[in-house]
Structure 1
Amino acid sequence: MIEKKLNYNFKDPQLLKTALTHSSYANETSVESNERMEFLGDAVLGFIVARVLYDLFPDAAEGKLSKMRSAIVSRMNFAHFAKGLKIDKQMLLGKGEENTGGRKRQSNLAGAFEAVIGAVFIDGGYKKVYRIVTKLLKNCLNGDEEIFRDYKTGLQEVAQRQFKKVPKYKVVLEEGPPHDKCFHVEVKLGRKCMGKGVGRNKKQAEQAAAKEGLEYIEGINKLA
Structure 2
Amino acid sequence: MKVSAEIKGFQTRIGYDFRAPDLLIRALTHSSMSSPTRDDNQRLEFLGDRVLGLVMAEALLEADQQAAEGQLAPRFNQLVRKETCADVAREIDLGAVLKLGRSEMLSGGRRKNALLGDGMEAVIAAVYKDGGFDAARDLILRLWNARINHVEADARDAKTSLQEWAQARKQQPPKYVELSRSGPDHAPVFIIEAQLQTGEAEQATAGSKREAQQMAAKALLERLEKKK
The C-alpha deviation readout for 1:159-202, integer Å capped at 9, x for no partner, is 9xxxx960168xx9xxxxxxxxx9x8967559xx964445xxxx
Contact 1:72–1:147 (CA under 8 A) maintained in structure 2 = no
Gaps of 5+ in 1: 173-181, 199-204, 218-224
The C-alpha deviation readout for 1:142-161, integer Å capped at 9, x for no partner, is 468995464435776999xx
Q: Aligned ranges for residues 70-109 of structure 1 at < 5 Å?
A: 70-109=77-116
Tell me which amino acid in the other structure corresponds to 1:167: Y
Equivalent of residue 142 in structure 2, options 135, 139, 144: 135
Alignment length (residue pairs): 193
* Seq. identity, %: 32
Q: Does 1:25 align with 2:67?
A: no
The C-alpha deviation readout for 1:47-78, integer Å capped at 9, x for no partner, is 12111211222232222221210111111111
Aligned to 1:40, the other structure's residue is in SS state: helix
Partners of 1:55 and 1:186 lie apart in 2 by: 38
Aligned to 1:167, the other structure's residue is in SS state: strand
Contact 1:195–1:211 (CA under 8 A) maintained in structure 2 = no
Partners of 1:212 and 1:195 lie apart in 2 by: 8
For normalisation by structure 1, the TM-score amounts to: 0.71
Q: Structure 1 residues 103 and 216 mapped into 2: Cα distance closer, same or farther (>3 Å)?
A: farther
Equivalent of residue 114 in structure 1, options 113, 117, 121: 121
Partners of 1:106 and 1:6 lie apart in 2 by: 19
Partners of 1:158 and 1:102 lie apart in 2 by: 37
RMSD: 3.7
Q: Aligned ranges for residues 1-224 of structure 1 at < 5 Å?
A: 1-27=9-35, 30-142=37-149, 147-148=154-155, 150-153=157-160, 166-167=175-176, 188=192, 195-198=205-208, 206=210, 208-211=211-214, 213=216
